[in-house]
Amino acid sequence: MRFSDIPGQQQVKQVLVQSVRRNHVAHAQLFRGAEGSAALALALAYATFLNCEARTPQADDSCGHCPSCQKIDKLIHPDLNFILPVTSTKAVPKDAISSKFAGEWRSFVLESPYQGLNDWMQHIGADNKQGSISKEESLQLLKLVSLKAFEAQFKLVIIWLPELMHPAAANAVLKLLEEPPPATVFLLVSHAPEQLLPTIVSRVQPVVVRALAEDELTAWLRDTQHVPEAKARQLAQVAEGNVGAALASLGAAGGSADHSYFDLFVAWMR
């Protein structure tokens, strides 16, 4: 994932790039944005930039060609780790932890990093169950960060939707933020940061991910999703700057440029 792949967010991108250039990388950062925002995409682009092997002091994006970038793009880098809300499924009937859903997570994110919790639950076949980050996950997390980075400068831990952490997991994360392991960067991606422990929020550097301007989202839909200008603007208006909502609307309409505005709105609302 490149910063250039993400629509808008120029100010946020600049702040993230400058933190690396100045060697002021915070050990814990909270990417906070609404569901369907670019919060996860920005965290992934930042992770890629941090460990890019071809990064120069003047670079403003990862190269996309070095071994590190290629592995992170495929979500298979040994120093890129994910903690996710999961639940028992037919494939994983018990002891559900993030590592057991690694394959499903890769396909989910590579399909689109702008999806939300319900999309993830449907993707793993959770039926109507609610996902969470269990207390068992805290033990795995402690083992994970006890190891040194295998091949990259930083060991990266992305915690997606930390507001869904069991209290034991939240306390384990808090302890790690208070006494961070060396060369380890925690990237928390939250849709509801107000539900996090205040002590966690106080120990992370906030990265606020705003909704896109209508023109930004219109241009991105037109240039990258190949949506005609008029239809792209309609989608941007309906989605109110939310990338995930715009893509969901486009998918519900079958990507058809001939779909009426009313039908598109009905499909999105449903």
Give the integer Cα–Cα distance in Å for 92 and 124.
10
SS3 30: strand
Whether the predicted pLDDT of 141 surpasses 90: no
Query: What residue type is assigned to position 77 of the chain?
Result: H
- Percent of the chain at pLDDT above 70? 95
For the segment 10-28, the average pLDDT, to the nearest whole number, is 94
> What pLDDT is recorded for position 253?
52
Q: Report residue 261's pLDDT band, with 50, 70 and 90 as the boundaries.
A: low
> What pLDDT is recorded for position 258?
45
Q: Report residue 259's pLDDT band, with 50, 70 and 90 as the boundaries.
A: very low
**pLDDT tens digit sequence for 160-189:** 999 999 999 999 999 999 988 889 999 999
Q: Exposed, middle or buried: residue 132 (CB in 10 Å: 0-12, 13-18, 19+)?
A: middle
Q: What order of strands is seen across the sheet that includes strand 155-160? A: 80-83, 155-160, 184-190, 28-32, 205-208
For the segment 209-223, the average pLDDT, to the nearest whole number, is 91
> What pLDDT is recorded for position 80?
95
> What pLDDT is recorded for position 140?
85
The contacts of residue 222 (CB under 8 Å, 6+ apart) are 228, 229, 232
Query: Where is 260: in which H helix or E strand?
Result: none
- Percent of the chain at pLDDT above 90? 65
Q: Report residue 159's pLDDT band, with 50, 70 and 90 as the boundaries.
A: very high
DSSP 66: S
Cβ atoms of 95 and 136 closer than 8 Å: yes
In our burial notation (b when 16+ CB lie closer than 10 A, e otherwise), range 180-218 reads bbeebbbbbbbbebeebbeebeebbeebebebbebebbb
Q: Strand 155-160 relative to strand 184-190: parallel, antiparallel, unpaired?
A: parallel
Structure tokens at 106: 């890769």
> What pLDDT is recorded for position 68?
96
Structure tokens at 38: 């670019």
List the single range of 15-24, 74-83, 120-129 with lowest mean pLDDT.
Answer: 120-129
Nearest one of 258, 155, 185, 161 to 16, comparing CA atoms: 185
Give the integer Cα–Cα distance in Å for 16 and 158.
16
> What pLDDT is recorded for position 256?
45
For the segment 210-236, the average pLDDT, to the nearest whole number, is 90
For the segment 16-20, the average pLDDT, to the nearest whole number, is 95
SS3 268: helix
Q: What is the mean pLDDT of the chain?
A: 90
Q: Exposed, middle or buried: residue 56 (CB in 10 Å: 0-12, 13-18, 19+)?
A: exposed
**pLDDT tens digit sequence for 52-96:** 999 998 899 999 999 999 999 999 999 999 999 999 999 888 889
> Mind spelling out the 3-state secondary structure of 224-245?
HCCCCHHHHHHHHHHHCCCHHH
Q: Report residue 148's pLDDT band, with 50, 70 and 90 as the boundaries.
A: confident
For the segment 13-19, the average pLDDT, to the nearest whole number, is 95
